[in-house]
Chain A
Amino acid sequence: MTLLAWGFDGLLLLGLLGLAWKALNSTDLFSAIALFIAFGLLMALVWVRLEAPDIALAEAAIGAGLSGALLLAALARLRGMEGNVTSNTGVEEAPNNIDARLVQWLSAILLLPVLFGLVYGVLSLPGNAVGLSAEINANLAASGVSNPVTAVLLNFRAYDTLLEVFVLLLALIAIWSMGSIQFNRSIETIGKTSLETTSSVLDTLVYLLVPVLMMVAAYLLWVGAHAPGGAFQAGSVLAAACVLLLLAGWPLHRLLTAMRLRLLAVAGPVVFVSMAAYSLIAEGALLQFPPEHAGTLILLLETVAALSIAVTLAALFSGGQGQHE
């Protein structure tokens, strides 16, 4: 049985490295992105093998799904520019000339010391890791949840999550500062150009799938307290539902007007900061929850955070193409 597991892990890692190599060096950008999505799915399998199902869920939803959608949308816009701009924006010239080959080999040789140094560094580590599992298990009962990863994310190291919610908001503000502010209609043209007459199938898919996605998001949010899941996974599933609606040409911007969108996007950060401020005053420490209320507080925090994450991720997908307007 161990031999089978070793063989599986070996194949998985070889496949992972092979896909990364192909994604980075295939000649066509579209197939590079397709390979990158496949790479993300294999990454999710690797996380399962490393007994990290929480990461596997996040990787499959965000790393493979949402990043893939972002990259493909960007490529479509880049190719769309080709019509207006004379020079080739979407096509990459293959490195055929001598100079480019030389650079490739030279940098490969120069990177060998980096590779060996890193390998040496990892292999010279002691065989036993001194982790924090014991401390986590000792304090899990006071955290309000029984899933250790959620306990770390929203109680023990909640300040990480606090900052991360702000990173998301910052990225959104940066993108909006370069483009339009509401859910943009021009994303629909990307979907519509290729899917115009097929709307009945797509509409049926959307009608069936979006409610299921919303239910899955709610389930992930709830189950995160005691099993793999949580705010990020729920938020990204909800964002995927929004992306599906946007691609199907659903008038999402009518439901989420610029003002509602802004309010939802800042709701997570605002609730997080006010809770941090309250805990600083009442408990004397940043984001320290009283054990008897911790479960409820974490669920509240996660719900608002998941909504903000979903809206922000969907807006990241939609926004920022205002340069044509």
Chain B
Amino acid sequence: MIAVIDLFSVLLLIAGAVFFLAGTLGLLRFPDVYTRLHALTKADNVGLGLIIAGLALQAESWAVAGKLVLIWLLVLLAGASVSYLVANGALKRGIRPWKS
């Protein structure tokens, strides 16, 4: 039983790390601020969610798991609002979205 939980944890953590890697790559390689924000929020939201899920499986108590989930929700809230603010600020400064 323990081994199965550990296996799930590892899988979730690796999946989360993959999302973070992809998000970082996007941040470095994408052409403009809007696409970079897109890459960043994927890493923040999904990547962090997977990592939190992986860690919550290892948590000693429900309270600890609850705190971990709370961290995820706070990051979701802050990340979504801040990327909206950044994108809006960029638009108002007259930065045009990138077109291929």
Contact = CB atoms under 8 A, between A and B. Distances in A.
* A–B interface present (Cβ within 8 A): yes
Contacts of A197: 88, 92
A209 B78 contact: yes
**B-side interface mostly:** helix
A308 B43 CA distance: 38
Contacts of A204: 81
Interface of B: 74, 77-78, 81, 84-85, 88-89, 92
A195 B88 CA distance: 8
Interface string A187-203: 00000001101100110
Contacts of A202: 81, 85
Contacts of B92: 194, 197
B84 A201 contact: yes
A208 B82 CA distance: 14
Interface centre among A197, A205, A212 (most CB of B within 10 A): A205
Given A194-B92, A198-B85, A204-B81, 5 more contacts: A194-B89, A195-B89, A201-B81, A208-B77, A212-B74
Contact of B85 (A201, A208, A212): A201
A205 B77 contact: yes
**A-side interface mostly:** helix
A219 B95 CA distance: 42
Contacts of B85: 195, 198, 201-202
A113 B77 CA distance: 50
A164 B62 CA distance: 39
A253 B77 CA distance: 27
Nearest to B87: A198
Contact of B78 (A194, A195, A198, A205): A205
A202 B80 CA distance: 11
A198 B86 CA distance: 10
B84 to A, nearest CB: 5
5 contacts: A195-B89, A198-B84, A198-B85, A201-B81, A201-B84
A209 B77 contact: yes
Nearest to A204: B81
A209 B84 CA distance: 16
A144 B84 CA distance: 47
Which 10 pairs show the lowest CB-CB distances between chains A and B? A205-B81, A198-B88, A194-B89, A201-B84, A201-B81, A198-B85, A208-B77, A195-B85, A202-B85, A201-B85
Interface string A210-235: 00100000000000000000000000
Interface centre among A197, A198, A212 (most CB of B within 10 A): A198
A195 B77 CA distance: 18
A174 B5 CA distance: 57
A212 B78 CA distance: 12
A113 to B, nearest CB: 38
A208 B75 CA distance: 12
A107 B19 CA distance: 43
